[in-house]
Amino acid sequence: MTKRNENTTDASLRSRAEKVLPGGVYGHMNMKKLPSGYPQFMETGDGARITDVDGNEYIDFMCGWGPIVLGRQFEKVDESARAVFAKGDIFNGPGVEMVELAELMCETIPHADWALFGKNGTDATTACVTTARAATGRNTILIAVDAYHGAIPWCTPRLSGVTPEDRAHQVRFVFNDVESLKAAVAEAGDDFAAIIIAPVHQPLGLTQEYATAEFAQAARQLCDDNGALLILDEVRVGFRIDLKGSWDQFGVQPDLAAWSKAIANGYPLSAVTGTERLRESATSIYVTGSFWYSASSMAAAIATITQLRDTDALEQMRRVGTLLCAGLSAQAAKHGIDAQVSGPVQMPLLLFGGPGGVKLGELFAQFCIDNGVYLHPTHNWFVSAAHSESDIEKSLTVTDAAFASLNAAIERQDAMAAV
């Protein structure tokens, strides 16, 4: 592998970026907090593999931080989008694709009686909250501690430039803690409009938690008992585990759901789905955007969802995700290293325990990136249907060596401490 140093294309681009982009690169794709082996700029991708601007190839377990679910350059999806681009993409009204996609989502997702489309996950979560307030005539929204629901003032995780009023009418609860949720409902009182919650709790750098059936059912019941609405934020998890919704397995359907990321295998799109009784409220709010009616992303979404529905793509993600997670757990045990895999197998995270855990996670990630496996030390990973058993096998060979290198590092540290 070409190491990141001053002679790489990546280093040269970072230096140019530093002059013309805030912080070099802004937002979640700024690599400054990651080990130095991580490339900032990428060049190309195919299937489960990506290549950086210096020509280094990686087996990719981030999938563009979620959007890639069938693999990169997935022909059926790209062909659908190309067909739209070839006739023009943005007109003075939507194309037939908007109707077809809404119909497909209403057929596929049990609670969905209607759908509307935006560009960002934040567009969708914000429209859900606004619709819930319009429908209930109440303002208070219940949100889990450490949950991520987007990056505008009401929800962005960093408070610079945010006013106290931007965060008004929010009550926090602890994910998977029914008593805490009940206390939040009591605090909201008569103003309880909605719970917004992700099906899986994936706080940065912390253990991932799938909601328990008990908790999901309690959330549904508390909403029903209090005339409030359940908003499921499927932006990160949606289209990876269950097309019927990530809480369908618990018999729980939300009133509103926000979707994005994997919905169109990388083409920019988000969606809100809702039940019949919220149709009028969704119609009463005003949400729109200059590019919200583009047909290309909707055509890509139709192709993506159809592929996920009609093939074993979801099963393939479960299969290779299980192999990956089982392999990592076995390796940690074999090397005697305190490390746990958490989260659904399709979007796992490996965290190291103990006071040196963060540092070990960085060393592990650095070893992997230097050896052609792109994973992340603190954010959950993403598996796609393009990941083969052979990709997992190759990756596990690298992670095995990474664990071994950690033991060597720990021994060196112990030796240093003993001197």
Q: Return the residues of window 256-275 that contact its own copies according to CB under 8 A.
A: 260-261, 266-268, 270, 274
**Is 33 one of the binding residues for its own copies (CB under 8 A)?**
no
**Is 123 one of the binding residues for its own copies (CB under 8 A)?**
yes
Print the binding letters for residues 339-378 with its own copies: x by CB under 8 A, - otherwise: -----------------------------------x----
Minimum CB–partner distance for residue 396 and its own copies (Å) = 20
Minimum CB–partner distance for residue 389 and its own copies (Å) = 23
Identify residue 110 by its one-letter amino acid code.
P
Task: Select from 68, 219, 256, 299 the one that contacts its own copies (CB under 8 A).
Answer: 68
Task: Select from 2, 130, 306, 340 the one that contacts its own copies (CB under 8 A).
Answer: 130
Helix (H) / strand (E) containing 351: strand 349-352
Region near its own copies per CB under 8 A, out of 42-50, 250-258, 301-309, 324-332: 42-50
Task: Select from 76, 172, 244, 279 the one that contacts its own copies (CB under 8 A).
Answer: 279
**Is 302 one of the binding residues for its own copies (CB under 8 A)?**
no
| DSSP line for 46-81 | EBTEEEETTS-EEEESSGGGTT-SS-BT-HHHHHHH
- Phi, psi torsion values for 3, nearest 5 degrees: -75, 150
Helix (H) / strand (E) containing 171: strand 170-173
**Is 286 one of the binding residues for its own copies (CB under 8 A)?**
yes
Q: Give the nearer residue to its own copies in terms of CB position, either 5 or 160.
A: 160
Q: Give the nearer residue to its own copies in terms of CB position, either 53 or 243.
A: 53
Task: Select from 202, 281, 304, 380 the one that contacts its own copies (CB under 8 A).
Answer: 281
Q: Give the nearer residue to its own copies in terms of CB position, either 128 or 341.
A: 128
Nearest C-alpha neighbor of 80 from the set 304, 277, 251, 391? 304
Dist. CA 265–CA 317, nearest whole Å = 14
**Residue 33: which residues within 8 A CB-CB, separation 6 or more?**
none
Region near its own copies per CB under 8 A, out of 215-223, 286-294, 306-314, 389-397: 286-294
Q: Give the nearer residue to its own copies in terms of CB position, either 65 or 322.
A: 65
Q: Which residue has the tokens 């190491």?
A: 3
Dist. CA 10–CA 38, nearest whole Å = 10
Q: Give the nearer residue to its own copies in terms of CB position, either 198 or 218.
A: 198
**Is 235 one of the binding residues for its own copies (CB under 8 A)?**
yes
**Is 66 one of the binding residues for its own copies (CB under 8 A)?**
yes
Task: Annotate 9-47 with three-state secondary structure.
Answer: HHHHHHHHHHHHCCCCCCHHHCCCCCCCCCCCCEEEEEE
**Is 401 one of the binding residues for its own copies (CB under 8 A)?**
no
Minimum CB–partner distance for residue 34 and its own copies (Å) = 10
Q: Give the nearer residue to its own copies in terms of CB position, either 162 or 174.
A: 162
Minimum CB–partner distance for residue 329 and its own copies (Å) = 24
Q: Give the nearer residue to its own copies in terms of CB position, either 250 or 364.
A: 364
| DSSP line for 296-334 | HHHHHHHHHHHHHHHSSHHHHHHHHHHHHHHHHHHHHHH
Nearest C-alpha neighbor of 148 from the set 206, 109, 62, 224? 206
> What is the three-class DSSP state of 250?
helix
The token duo for 7 is 């002679």
Region near its own copies per CB under 8 A, out of 40-48, 325-333, 356-364, 411-419: 40-48
- Phi, psi torsion values for 356, nearest 5 degrees: -95, 15
Q: Give the nearer residue to its own copies in terms of CB position, either 19 or 417.
A: 19
Dist. CA 33–CA 81, nearest whole Å = 35
Residues 146-175 that bind its own copies (CB under 8 A): 151-154, 156-158, 160-163, 165-166, 168-169
Nearest C-alpha neighbor of 268 from the set 31, 89, 28? 89
**Is 307 one of the binding residues for its own copies (CB under 8 A)?**
no
Dist. CA 212–CA 247, nearest whole Å = 9
> What is the three-class DSSP state of 256?
strand
